[in-house]
Amino acid sequence: MGSGRWSTDVYTAAADYRAARGQSAFAYSDGGARTVHPELDPQGVFMRESRDSDEHPFSTPIAVLFDVTGSMGNVPRVLQTKLPQLLGLLTRKNYAIDPQIMFGAIGDATCDRAPLQIGQFESDNRMDEDLARIVLEGGGGGQKHESYELALYFMARHTVLDSMINRGRRGYLFLIGDEMPYPFVKPREVKAVIGDDLPRKISVEDIVAELRRKYDIYYILPTAAGWGGDKEVLGRWKSLLGQNVLELDDLDAVCETIALTVGLGEDAIDLDEGIADLSDVGSAKGGSVGRALSRLQRNPIVRDAPFEITAGPGGNQRL
């Protein structure tokens, strides 16, 4: 996947068409769907692919997975309205070469009907179509946990990135939510949702370590969400991802935060330059983004640094 090019004109025309007919950008979900759309169903998927091509020879994979339970259900609506701004910063401001964006949604495998929804890596307006197919279930288990670990497992074992294979460059994975992962990837849930036969459970620490071979992982916690600012949630994610836990005080700034994080990771900008770019494109979110990313600016990540792989407990390979 990942062919074609994004067109703001096509996006605007589709939005105008929906508005003229009173249609939602999330017609699948708003029309009453409660099961995963076939195009986003992870069951039986071998790989979601971010591939190089003659059209996009230096693909940059960017995956954005968001919690759609409870107070987080508005996140995809915000993303959908700000897609042109996100793509504009990534491409016109040269933050990333040949960006390919995947959208997905996370629920709770213990109780939800759509616990995991995973799109394709796309370079064109099909990414908007994937967003439109997402079920905004709004459920969740109510225990300050959702099935992030199931999403991490899928991304670790069911995605392939030419950026990593051909250039040793990891992709970007953004998780947007306000709760914690469950402690283990459970074989029963993996079988039911993805279809793999997992011989034993995997700790969330081990699946994060495995996933970091492919992706730089960021967790964005909107402070206005239900568990925003919660010390237990923040502490758990910081124990897994360190400085890559970003507290965002304005949910409407999520696209800008993603774009500038990629720009910093690609060494295309520093934070001051990125905030100036936001002003250039008419965004008033520089303050929120600056506060969220200040720690990354102080402690930049070296993205092409190799990981040392050692044996973890039980013989699992750890980074």
pTM for the structure as a whole: 0.91
What is the structure's pLDDT at 260?
96
**pLDDT at residue 293, as a whole number:** 95
Residue 245 gets the label, from left (phi > 0), alpha (psi -120 to 50) or beta, of beta
Q: How many CA atoms lie within 13 A of 282 on its CB side?
A: 5
Spell out the alpha helix ranges (H) of the chain.
8-20, 27-30, 75-81, 83-87, 126-132, 148-157, 162-167, 187-193, 204-211, 231-241, 254-265, 271-280, 286-298
Q: What is the pLDDT of residue 176?
A: 93
* pLDDT at residue 77 in the model: 82
Q: Are 63 and 104 in contact (CB under 8 A)?
A: yes
Domain extent listing, the chain:
8-300
Residues ≥6 apart with Cβ < 8 Å to 72: 66, 176, 177, 178, 222, 225, 226
Interacting residues of 74 by C-beta distance below 8 A, sequence separation 6+: 251
| Homologous superfamily in CATH for domain 8-300 | von Willebrand factor, type A domain (3.40.50.410)
Give the per-residue pLDDT at 315.
Answer: 34
The mean pLDDT values, 10 residues at a time, for the chain of 319 residues are 77 88 84 89 97 95 90 78 87 93 94 94 91 80 85 98 96 95 98 97 98 97 81 95 94 92 95 93 90 77 48 34
Cα of first residue to Cα of last residue in the chain, in angstroms, is 29
- Residue 187: what are its φ and ψ, rounded to 5°? -55, -40
